[in-house]
Amino acid sequence: MNTNRITALLLAGLLPLSSLVAAESGIAASEAVPTAAQAAPRAAAVLTLPEALAEALASSPRLEGAKAEIARARGGKRAAAAAGRPSLTASAGQNYGGPANELNPSRAGQIGADLSVPLDTNGRVKAGKRGAKAAEAAALASLRAESQRLVLDVTESYLDVLQAEQEATLLGELRRLNGERLRIARIRRSAEVGVPLEVTQAEADLAESVQGEIEAQARVRQASAALNALLGRPAAAPLALDPATVPAEMGDAHPSLPTLDRATPEQAQALGLARPDLQSLRAGVEGAEAGIDSARAARRPGFGLSGNLLQRIPETLVGGFGWSLGASLLQSLFDGGRIRAAVEQARAEHRRAGAALAEAERNADAQVETARVGLDAAEKRLFAEDQRVVASQAGLEAAQKRLRTGVAPALEVTEAETVLTRARTESLIARYGLARARVRLAYVTGLAYPETLLSFKGSNVAEDLFN
């Protein structure tokens, strides 16, 4: 399968943000504030998004817990199947006593074997098998749901680091421009052609940009620590991320797949109701139904065969060997209400499981619609912010032209550059907001397929995780 399918599904429409900053900000690398990735030691290899996802999925403790639940469920399934099969047991014993005589030797031993064959369990074994099968299905679906949640968490953390790094770069440029504005304002004030308010405003803008840059750098470290935790690395481990691994369009990877952007509300809702977490709850309802059948089966009789073979050492007057073969019929006549209570308990559990499923389906429907609306709003916001960048760029070009013709001061150009940098910062935030909206919609519609990703570069993590 195509190794970029998962990232394409999650981030369809996200442009390479490194290109965005390089092309739109015009910030030289020497002027940018060092980011966490730039400050990382050279030994830190660049980590792509698919590699980060594969690393997290291969080492996550939460997935280990889900896999342990699968193993437990499969053990229960084998135990349920074994309940309806014949059983054979062997026994050996040695007794000492007295006084010794022909009927009661002082030392006697015996070796025996017992065979039990259940012929009719009246639905108890069948119900147990149904419940165990449902438990296994629920555990498998829970693993897939947890792995998709991990894909969401890692992808969002990866985006958080990239956004914080590039915001810090743009805010560093804004700090430089505000510093230049303050320098010009002070010169104008000294020449008595400016007013004190101009200096005060420039000082406030500079302080705000410095604070914003500090906060962005802090977000870089915080987001890096969160991503490292998901990857199983030390929180302070250096990270070097690669924005170029984020695909531009879903169709580039899978032209045959419809993009989530063009999915109808009905299609999106149908996908949301097929999510693995809801599949797990449905399996739980089925298991609860099997629990009712199992509790009811205790009221019905059971029929079975039994056999016994015995060798006495030494032989007694009754001989050295003995055997028996019999049939048994078991029917509960009076149990003090235990069976009735068990049935009522099973029915209550079924109602609880059904209510949980109904609530989850309602929430899933609301989550899908919320994600769709959020995606639409994010697309509109990005369009508006991009238009703002275009207008700011035109304003800067006009100011530069006026400066070259001598009809505008240098301050006008600096002000236009400041407006453009702020517009680019807002556009960057909007672009990452759109990416997160697509990530969220992919998750709530159950399209974060980790097994699709994990086949890349010959990795066998997919087989280890889902088999």
| DSSP one-letter string for 208-264 | HHHHHHHHHHHHHHHHHHHHHHHHTS-TT---EE-GGGS-S-HHHH-TTSPPGGG--
Residues forming beta bridges with residue 95, ordered by sequence position: 108
- What pLDDT was estimated at residue 443? 86
Q: Which residue intervals of 309-409 are DSSP H helices? A: 338-404
The answer on pLDDT for 41 being more than 60 is no
Phi, then psi, of 326 in degrees rounded to 5:
-150, 170
pLDDT in tens, 392-441: 999 999 999 988 888 878 888 888 999 999 999 999 899 888 888 888 88
Q: Is the dihedral of CA 22, 19, 389, 423 positive or negative?
A: negative
CA separation for the pair 350, 355 (Å, rounded): 9
pLDDT in tens, 354-407: 999 999 999 999 999 998 899 889 889 999 999 999 999 999 999 999 888 888
CA separation for the pair 46, 227 (Å, rounded): 14
The residue that leads in pLDDT, 393 or 118, is 393
Phi, then psi, of 328 in degrees rounded to 5:
-135, 145
Reported pTM: 0.74
The answer on pLDDT for 244 being more than 90 is no
The answer on pLDDT for 323 being more than 60 is yes
* Beta strand 46-47 pairing with 240-241: parallel
- What pLDDT was estimated at residue 246? 57
**Which of 414, 435, 422 minimizes the C-alpha distance to 385?**
422
Residues forming beta bridges with residue 324, ordered by sequence position: 308
The answer on pLDDT for 7 being more than 70 is no
The answer on pLDDT for 9 being more than 70 is no
How is the chain split into domains, by residue range? 5-85+124-299+343-466
- Domain 5-85+124-299+343-466: which topology? Outer membrane efflux proteins (OEP) (1.20.1600)
* Beta strand 107-120 pairing with 240-241: unpaired
Buried b (16+ CB within 10 A) or exposed e, 107-117: ebeeebeeeee
Angle ∠(453,457,463) on CA atoms, nearest 5: 60
pLDDT in tens, 138-187: 999 999 899 889 988 998 899 899 889 989 999 999 999 888 888 888 88
